[in-house]
Amino acid sequence: MSSEFDRMWGALDPVGRVGNGGYRRFAWTAEDHTLREWFAGECAARGLDLVEDRMGNQWAWWGDPDAEGRGLAIGSHLDSVPDGGAYDGPLGVVSSLAAVDALRDSGFRPARPIAVVNFGDEEGARFGVACAGSRVITGAMTADRALSLTDADGISMAQALRAAGREPSRIGRDDETLRRVGSFVELHVEQGRVLADLDPATSAVAVGTDIWPHGRWRIDLPGVANHAGTTALADRSDAMLSAAQVVLGARAAATANGCVATTGKLQVEPGGVNAIPSHVRVWLDARGADEAAVRATVDAVRREAERLGGTLTEESWTGTTRFDGDLALRLRDALDPQTPMLGTGAGHDAGVLATAGIPSAMLFVRNPTGVSHSPEEFAERDDCLRGVDALTTVVRELTS
């Protein structure tokens, strides 16, 4: 098993890797295509039946998905944020394939079908909406909205799909796929350092309990373009100064409300070094354990934006997502009653499926740096293999 894990990990290592050691694996790009082909190849080598759903998510079935008893899906995603780490997503996909290997090597015969899934466009790095693959098939995002999203180059998702050989009119809610999925377990690298601070002997793997409420908002701030050398400071209307106030305001509001807020992306028009910005778009990501506190944070940013003549538009919002409590306890008991139970501030496809009524659960693998969405993201190889063991145990428990 471990050598197969290493082989798969090694094959993914160079795909979309950039100079700083991070990854750029964005939806419907050449890198994404390579990853999909890799996944298809691994599934074919295992004799799994690969089906692409109405949003391009890849489901590889062990057993007849339409047979008696709805299937157990395991998996994650292969795409990344800009300069993301190697583990966020791929660890779950590779571990799922390795778990299938381990079960087969032991002669196990599942009583219900098992799918390994590779969800597309989980990070939303290109089109701005996270979990686009699972949101569309569950109906949480309409096909019209998805197709009209645009990337930084103005390419719509519809155009990107067509360029990748997919038919945009085909995308949408996919009840046939959902009907096949009785439950979903996503293994994921931990994106904080709770486990790293616990007893090292019992904390390589945790079971997920819930996902914090979270959302994304776009703030549009106006200004007037003019010459950087000949326009007196007093005569300027500089959208970047407004952006600076909004960024600092978001930080202050998050601090006051006990949440987290991030402004990690800006668009500046006209975007010249010697031109006063006429328009700045700032994207806000806000999350927290408490919904009302996140809402209060965003409301404060909205008031600040409006005071500056701008607007704040909600691009996505997901309330608290609780994973299936019974399923989580079943996972914990199958592993070890001492297994830690963790909530997380990161969104996942498992959360989207849970919201759609599919009993879902997560396993988290210890990350000693606690860092994610960065090249520093890490998990020890031994912990990765413990994660595979845990997933194998869970799949056996749920499909016996």
How far, in Å, are 60, 99, 104, 264, 389 from residue 46 at the CA level? 10, 12, 10, 40, 19
88 near Zn ion, rule: CB under 5 A: yes
Count residues near Zn ion (CB under 5 A): 2
Whether the CB-CB separation of 181 and 70 falls below 8 Å is answered with yes
User: Of 124 and 359, which has the nearer Cβ to Zn ion?
Assistant: 124
- From residue 335 to residue 354, the character string flagging contacts with Zn ion as x (rule: CB under 5 A) and all else as - is --------------------
Q: Considering the complex, state which of residue 65 and residue 89 has its C-beta at the smaller distance from Zn ion.
A: 89
Here's the x/- map for Zn ion, 35-74, by CB under 5 A: it reads as ----------------------------------------
Minimum CB distance to Zn ion, residue 132 (Å): 13
Please give the C-alpha separations between residue 75 and each of 78, 100, 194, 247, 371, in angstroms, as whole numbers: 10, 11, 23, 36, 21
Output the smallest distance, CB 109 to Zn ion, in A: 31
**Smallest gap from residue 48 Cβ to Zn ion (A):** 22
Q: Is 75 in the site for Zn ion (CB under 5 A)?
A: no
Distances in Å between the Cα of 383 and the Cα atoms of 105, 205, 317, 328 are 21, 8, 33, 20
User: Binding segment for Zn ion among 7-15, 88-96, 196-204, 388-396 (CB under 5 A)?
Assistant: 88-96
CB nearer to Zn ion: give 118 or 242: 118
- CB of 88 or CB of 304, closer to Zn ion: 88
Nearest-approach distance from CB 268 to Zn ion, in angstroms: 29
| Residue with Cβ nearer Zn ion (89 or 172) | 89
Q: To the nearest whole angstrom, how small is the minimum distance from the Cβ of residue 91 to Zn ion?
A: 9
If one counts every other C-beta atom within 10 angstroms of the C-beta of residue 78, the result is 27
Amino acid (1-letter code) at residue 88: D
Which residues contact residue 41 at a Cβ distance below 8 angstroms, ignoring those fewer than 6 apart? none
Q: Identify any residues that bridge with 207 across adjacent strands, giving them in sequence order.
A: 341, 363
190 sits near Zn ion (criterion: CB under 5 A): no
Selected range binding Zn ion among 15-23, 87-95, 169-177, 228-236, rule: CB under 5 A: 87-95
Identify whether the C-beta of residue 390 lies closer than 8 Å to the C-beta of residue 355: no
For residues 98 and 118, give the distance between their C-alpha atoms in angstroms, rounded to a whole number.
Answer: 14
Closest distance between Zn ion and the C-beta of residue 20, in Å? 19
Q: Which residues pair with 296 in a beta bridge?
A: none
Q: How far is the CB of 303 from Zn ion (least distance, A)?
A: 33
Q: Which is nearer to Zn ion, 89 or 249 (CB)?
A: 89
Cα(86)–Cα(208) distance, integer angstroms: 21
Which stretch in 86-94, 134-142, 282-290, 360-368 sits in contact with Zn ion by CB under 5 A?
A: 86-94
Q: Closest separation between CB of residue 41 and Zn ion, Å? A: 22
Choose the binding region for Zn ion from 1-9, 81-89, 157-165, 323-331 (rule: CB under 5 A).
81-89
Tokens linked to 88: 């966020």
**In the complex, minimum distance from the CB of residue 348 to Zn ion, in angstroms, rounded to a whole number:** 6
Under rule CB under 5 A, residue 89 binds Zn ion: yes
Rounded distance between C-alpha atoms, residue 31 and residue 42, angstroms = 17
Nearer to Zn ion, 89 or 124 (CB): 89
Q: Distances in Å between the alpha carbon of 287 and those of 32, 216, 258?
A: 28, 9, 10
**Residue whose entry in the numeric block shows the structure tokens 């050598």:** 3
Specify the stretch interacting with Zn ion by CB under 5 A; choose among 9-17, 26-34, 80-88, 273-281.
80-88
CA-nearest of 197, 244, 217 to 313 is 217
Residues 22, 139: Cα–Cα separation, whole Å: 32
Q: CA 155, CA 308: separation in Å to the nearest integer?
A: 30
- Span interacting with Zn ion, options 33-41, 60-68, 83-91, 198-206, rule CB under 5 A: 83-91
Closest CB 85 distance from Zn ion, rounded Å: 10
Task: Give the binding site for Zn ion (CB under 5 A).
Answer: 88-89
